[in-house]
Amino acid sequence: MKRRAFIALIGGAAAWPLAARAQQPDLMRRIGVLMNTAADEPEAQARLTAFMQGLQELGWAVGRNLRVDYRWSPVPGGFARLQKDAAELVALRPEVILAGVGATIPALQRATRTIPVVMAQGIDPVGNSYVESLARPGGNTTGFIQFEYSLAGKWMELLKEVAPGVTRVGVLREPAAAAIGQWAMIQAVAQPLGAELKPIDARDADELERSITAFARAPNGGLIVAVSAAALTHRDLIITLAARYRLPTVYAYRVFVTYGGLMTYSPDIPSQYRRAAGYVDRILKGESPADLPVQAPTKYELVINLSEGARHRPAPDSARPRRRGD
């Protein structure tokens, strides 16, 4: 074989792998999402939309280089249902799992200690033993804190500011560790303000209606709806009862005001999910969750519904909620 022909042959052979790689589709990566709400919950859908938009901005596209497996575990199913869904998701062997609000994090930690978990709405992750520290999580879980407990005290202050005559405050909560921290902060602020607190279980709709009805029989009452997945599940009922009994109410989630509630002061939750997409991206690219610090919210909103008659529908253009970012 002539030397010139041999060199051309070698050069062509070297180019074959490059051409073949250029024609191959992107490597398909797999992630999971566990949500402690129903699939048709509008707020949950808004959060996941922000998450997927964040991934898209980082170059991930479902069907091209990414597959997403979802498990929706509504609150009425209880922790047993949630743990079953977590185990099913882990069995699919995703490379990263996004954990939504509620008990999704402990359910996933029982199911796996190796697959990375990114929490979008973690509550007291050190106190709940989800991570070793905020700066160095140390295990397979990292992500973002939904709020700091001091925020719960702000709800009490705002309630008294908007309704100075309130002396009795019903606090809707779930009987969980997070509720204890929120209750403690609300109580610390309520005492100097001369307000008496009444815990109201938010898990069961019938019990919720009976409790709020009984609470409303005495005058000068108001409500605080604390952070909980159950509160989102019973959103329409809570808004209806607060309106029926004319109870001024401060909510932990903006969606309550969108659908007719009075007021909320809370982090911008969808932005938490967009930030969580950044951590999922970094883990897919090789970083360890043990080395990614747990981060606090960076944006808070005060939203007040100016439409007194609004109940189950978004406020009209003439009465849009006001927002103030801190």
Tell me: the pLDDT tens digits for 193-246? 999 999 998 778 899 999 999 999 999 999 999 988 788 889 999 999 999 999
pLDDT over 60 (residue 314): no
Indicate the SS3 state at residue 324. Answer: strand
Q: Residue 308 corresponds to which amino acid? A: E
CA–CA distance, 166 with 255 (Å, rounded to integer): 24
pLDDT digits (tens, 9 = 90+) for 237-277: 999 999 999 999 999 988 899 889 999 998 898 999 999 99
Phi-psi region of 249 (alpha: psi -120 to 50; beta: other; left: phi over 0): beta
Q: How far is CA 194 from CA 180, 220, 222, 238, in A?
A: 21, 12, 13, 25
CATH of segment(s) 150-251: 3.40.50.2300
Q: Is the pLDDT of residue 315 over 60?
A: no
Q: Show the tokens assigned to 276.
A: 């969580």
Q: What is the arithmetic mean of pLDDT over 307-312?
A: 47
Hey, do 29-147+268-297 and 150-251 end up sharing a CATH topology, with the first three levels equal?
yes
- Residue 110 pLDDT > 60: yes
Residue type, 229: A
Supply the pTM of this predicted model: 0.76
Q: Could you give the CA distance from residue 142 to residue 303 in angstroms, rounded to a whole number?
A: 29
29-147+268-297: what fold? Rossmann fold (3.40.50)
Q: Which residues of 152-184 are buried (b: 16+ CB within 10 A; e: fewer)?
A: bbbbbebbbeebeebbbbbbbbbebebbebbbe
The beta strands (E) that lie in 202-310 are given as 221-225, 249-251, 263-267, 300-304
Strand bridging mode 141-145 / 322-325:
unpaired
CB atoms within 10 A of CB 1: 7
Distances (CA, A) of 169 to 154, 200, 226: 14, 10, 12
Q: For the chain, give every domain's residue range.
A: 29-147+268-297, 150-251
Q: Give 179's pLDDT tier (boundaries 50, 70, 90).
A: confident
Distance from the first to the final alpha carbon of the chain: 76
